[in-house]
Structure 1
């Protein structure tokens, strides 16, 4: 319906003008972008929760809801389960790191081997120490960027492939001594996710319970050559690696995981009858940016595939970037009503009531 973000801005401004015809003050385009991005996440959460609409429809309970969220559905390849040697409280669990653009879980499936331990040799075998598996993560500190003049040129280089971010750097306010991370952080993460293959994941500031201020984090299974160059100046990129045990690829059965609330994990694990034939639906748990999967003495999970809803790509009129979500009439109604609410215009309630009928 809408091909460009500029077209979408015009539609929203026209709608607001029609509703409040006596309004003379203009609305900053950056403010509309902010409201669009905020409403996009709220819209996805609303559409995927059957408690938030009078019809009681969840994520895919009707064709309309399937179509509304279709463009944001993603599925990972098989992700190898990792096991932290220091996780002594739960010796029978391992985890995968959620994708960098993850927003909401749809389902997860385990690839596993099932059989009595005494009958299946090396059921819980992990990679030997001489085959250490590392997770590499590369920190790009955006606060180290300094820009002078009116023309900005920048590239993030991954193994020789240049990803141009010059248009994003052009949003920099030259009147300030510091680069505005509010403007460029999310857009740069989006650009990297579009350009890199699914072997990479991109995060902002947080990874596996660790906080890296002002840093974009790129993860990979190899020690890649990653560099940031701005106006022919190299910005240092720091690379770390973390070692985990990984299970040997022995899985040959597939089972959908049961997602259990953290408060019920111990009770579920200690339930003798509830754990009978647990290989049919392994227990899983979401903690921070990880999906934990619990295995038993008679089965072992070596990989997990995740179906999820991704974060919508950011709207930004300055670089004419459109989101990848489906822009529907009820989404625009939601944006307009939110803008009117912030502007303290009484007309928002009428628009809100109309959008609740969808």
Structure 2
């Protein structure tokens, strides 16, 4: 006997990826409902590569009673309306928006990092999925923290336009084409031209000069991994369609060599170490697209601090940064709490 699963926001980039991953991983779903806003109602979406077509229903009129799990990828505003309704109806919500991440009664989960935290899901029947950049970073940090205790992290991100949704991807494509043919490349979704450029600004600015995206990486890392870790982030949008990259400087309480870190990462769950000190001996966003892993490359010792490492981290932000992590949470929830059959 399998689960009855709802995907809310199924027509978006992440929602479609959730359906792909549910199918790829053969998640035990007896029934799947795909929901979106009224403008998408009646359209059809393929369930992965199965050939099975699912008809989109209007989230406004959907009754969540009798459904087991709802994967939400609809943004904070719709989630604020419909997630509590789903949770109250007994359907466990796994939410990809930022709405519930810092709620003390809602677990914020990366299954390879803090699986035990899921045991608190029943307080609100809601589980939060972290920010895409946070998710891949903590997968790489967790085994190193266990080995030598991380005290400080300095991270610069290189985030793809798919993190801004379909509009972001369309803008990069259209601007690139326009520049090649001599047409104007006016920004619409982004604050400046994204084609052949980088923009050191993701989400809104806060009073201290950091952006909300940078703040998310700080507070989410502390909640997921360890509240004692000091974190500072600079988040940058780059002209890449899919795949987030991060340059991470890490300081430790205990001594740890690059070779020891490589050995640890080679065996770490969710991590794929690709670290050859030669041309092409590292992973870039192009290679990570469509993959489940968080790739780590260029592990080296930082000579400017006593116990420091530097590394390069790359992952498909639509997968591990969003859809894959949500499905992994659903799998973990099923194993620990919603056992069927």
Q: Same fold (TM over 0.5)?
A: no
Provide the TM-score with structure 2 as the length reference.
Answer: 0.26
More strand by share: 1
Name the structure where helix makes up a greater proportion of residues.
2
The structure, 1 or 2, with the larger RCO (C-alpha pairs under 8 Å, 6+ apart) is: 1
Q: Which protein has the larger Cα radius of gyration, Structure 1 or Structure 2?
A: 1
TM superposition score normalised by structure 1: 0.25
